[in-house]
Amino acid sequence: MQENDIKRPSPEELLEIAKQQEASEQKKGKLTIYLGYAPGVGKTYTMLSDAHLRKKEGIDVVVGYAETHGRVETEKLLEGLEVIEPLIVDYKGLKLKEVNFEKIIQRKPQLVIIDELAHTNPPNFKNVKRYQDVEEILNAGIDVYTALNVQHIESLNDLVYQITNIAIKETVPDKFIEQASEIKLVDLTPEELLKRLHEGKVYVRDMAQAAIGKYFRSGNLLALRQIALRIVADSVDGKMRSYMKQHAIAGPWAVKEKVLVGIFASPYAEQLVRATYRFATEIDAQWIAVHVETQKNQYFTDQEKAWLNKAFDLVRSLGGQIVWIKGDDITTEIVNYAKSQNVTKIVIGKPRKFSMFSPTIPEKLITQTEFIDVYLIAPKDKKSQEFLKKKKYGIKNIKDYLYSTINIGAVTLLSLILKNHLNHSSLMSIFLAALVLNALIFEIPAVIVSIVISVLVFDFFFIPPQYTFYISNFNYLISFLVYVVVIVFISVLATKLKTKVNLLKESQLRELSLYELSNNLVMASTKEQVLSILINHIKKLFNVEAAIFIADENNKLKVGAKTKDFEINSETLGIANWSFINKKNAGFGTDTISNATALYIPMITTNGVFGVIAINLKQLNKPVTIDQTVAIDAIAHLGAIALERLKLMRCS
């Protein structure tokens, strides 16, 4: 089949889609989002009005949280509706009202109203964000009406900042918004909204007075309104395509595009991820975030590591695929991966300037990627631009500079002893041998420093006129230049070779480890053997305490295996159950019960959840790398496949 041929779903694919939708509808509640383009358009009022209509239809409706901002007409709409009393939390002397989602789940109405979806919960709450509370309510089979403004959508964060010049900190991941069964646009003309603002009917507690003036400009409101209209249109379009697939309606069904974005350690990384997500969503494409780890990664500052980790956390929340590659040439690795995975488009940051003598990564990509479109995205704020202009590098590996200098000092002493017995060429060969040794052992900056020192020392002690830095014979200058070029060339080649060898060793160790695990799991014939293999592999790989919780016949979790010192208590069981039910990571390093010492990873296949792995990553006493995260996800996935295989064998 040609790439541009029509591709319709097979009957098997259509059946699977229908089954998945039916199962999803049975298990989860339906999410309805009331979307506005700015505060004050009437989202809460419309949502409560619809709640009264649902109640008249005989639906059991409760209000979990409604922010009326003291508006009389909105507060009147609460009359006649059951209100679940909110939690009252003391925070910095303030009494905060928060959603009591556990009480809502216990009450189990058919529909609950929860306002301000993007809200951040106080510290020490089970969930960091309110949308996570809503997700638990949906997982309990309860329908939810909620309200949101476009500026709180994660992928639009940079675009809204570009329009309004106001940074919005509270956001909701697009993957969560995509779960919505319906997105209702609550619309109002900019003129009417500005009138409401001047009348004091718009509540903008999160904005300073100066910011209000910037945000509520007619041009800004028109742009934000256009974004809101587009989101609703895209939602309707997506539902239409889903309906057509389920009912085998003629397409055409185009072959999907695949977008790759190159991620680097910079403040611009998150902007690049958001831009790629928006682009991929617009063309209905699969998207992959790729980072190429080179020797430079070991010199990253804590800030650079934080930028990189935040970018990949954002990739996860937006539903992208993460790929971490080790190599010595970023462009080559990206190109090779793109070709091997049939990538059709590459997104990368736009460089500040192009150079004729030193091609940038985007330039190399453009020339090396035939039949692949390359898109350059420019940074949207000054902070990113300044970082791209100039990055300061400090002196790293002081020992390299010290030892390479000592090496030159030793040959200088030896040459002074042999000065009266050897000619200049022989003495220069001794220095050359020392520099070659430096080039093979130490890094390029230290080698260059040792070259400069050796030239100055040799000139001072051995080239007439002695004990001066004057060179009377032009031949000596040529000799110096030649051996400087030779040594630098050797140093560059040696550094590349060492980098390749180290990266090859790391890649082989990782691949051998996963191969050993998968091979052992394939040979396992009982559930106990699978659990033993998994727990031993985790202990060997991370040297931390761990436990594996397995679902029994009644879908209840029990401890299947654990290391000696992993503590099992009500808290660990509670977090494991949450991860199992919600099919999401929880605990250490996540937004759910982040103060836990262990990370909880559900063991998921396409046919369900088989258990949860808990790994006490806090014992590492350092941030978890993306590489380690990928390894943990791989272990959980391989374990789930092994348990699924045993289950199928028992059923056959």
- What pLDDT is attached to residue 186? 92
User: Tokens at residue 334, please?
Assistant: 């990206």
Average pLDDT, integer, range 107-132: 91
Average pLDDT, integer, range 99-119: 93
Please give the DSSP secondary-structure letter assigned to residue 244: H
- What pLDDT is attached to residue 5? 37
Average pLDDT, integer, range 428-443: 80
Average pLDDT, integer, range 4-13: 43
pLDDT band (50, 70, 90) for residue 255: low
- CATH fold of the domain at 258-389: Rossmann fold (3.40.50)
- What pLDDT is attached to residue 25? 46
Of 82-96, 440-454, 488-502, which range is least confident? 488-502
Q: What's the first-to-final CA gap in the chain, in angstroms?
A: 36
Rounded Cα–Cα distance for residues 572 and 559 (Å): 11
Greater model confidence, 247 or 199: 199
- What pLDDT is attached to residue 570? 86
User: Does residue 47 surpass a pLDDT of 60?
Assistant: yes
Average pLDDT, integer, range 501-528: 76
Number of C-alpha atoms within 13 angstroms, CB side, residue 120?
11
285 near 277, Cβ under 8 Å? Answer: no
Tell me which amino acid residue 176 is.
F
Of 342-346, 591-595, 636-640, which range is least confident? 591-595
CATH 3.40.50.300 is the classification of domain 11-246: yes
Rounded Cα–Cα distance for residues 43 and 187 (Å): 9
How large is the greatest C-alpha to C-alpha distance in the chain, in angstroms? 109
Three-class DSSP category at 297: helix
Of 3-7, 301-305, 441-445, which range is least confident? 3-7
Greater model confidence, 491 or 645: 645
- What pLDDT is attached to residue 273? 92
Average pLDDT, integer, range 215-230: 86
Rounded Cα–Cα distance for residues 445 and 393 (Å): 11
User: Tokens at residue 84, please?
Assistant: 């679940």
User: Does residue 23 surpass a pLDDT of 70?
Assistant: no
- Cross-strand partners of 95: 90
Which strands make up the sheet holding 608-615, listed edge to edge?
557-562, 546-551, 608-615, 599-605, 586-587
User: Does residue 346 surpass a pLDDT of 90?
Assistant: yes
User: Does residue 32 surpass a pLDDT of 50?
Assistant: yes
Pairing verdict, β 182-185 and 143-149? unpaired
- What pLDDT is attached to residue 449? 85
User: Does residue 250 surpass a pLDDT of 60?
Assistant: no
User: Does residue 614 surpass a pLDDT of 90?
Assistant: yes
Greater model confidence, 99 or 459: 99
For a pLDDT cut of 90, what percent of the chain falls above it? 23
- What pLDDT is attached to residue 64? 94
Greater model confidence, 96 or 77: 77
DSSP3 helix / strand / coil % (the chain, rounded to 5): 55, 15, 30
Architecture of domain 524-651: 2-Layer Sandwich (3.30)
Residue boundaries of the structural domains of the chain: 11-246, 258-389, 398-495, 524-651
Q: What is the mean pLDDT of the chain?
A: 81
- What pLDDT is attached to residue 342? 83
User: Tokens at residue 374, please?
Assistant: 């390359």
Rg (CA), the chain: 31
CA 237 to chain centre: 27
In sequence order, which residues have a C-beta less than 8 Å from that of residue 157 and are 6 or more positions away? 151, 168, 171, 274
Greater model confidence, 4 or 178: 178
User: Tokens at residue 106, please?
Assistant: 């216990």
User: Does residue 216 surpass a pLDDT of 60?
Assistant: yes
User: Does residue 198 surpass a pLDDT of 60?
Assistant: yes
In sequence order, which residues have a C-beta less than 8 Å from that of residue 583 and are 6 or more positions away? 602, 604, 609
User: Does residue 384 surpass a pLDDT of 60?
Assistant: no
Same topology between domain 11-246 and domain 524-651? no
Residue 92 burial class via C-beta count within 10 angstroms: exposed 0-12, middle 13-18, buried 19 and up: exposed
| pLDDT tens digits for range 349-358 | 888 776 666 6
Residue 166 burial class via C-beta count within 10 angstroms: exposed 0-12, middle 13-18, buried 19 and up: middle
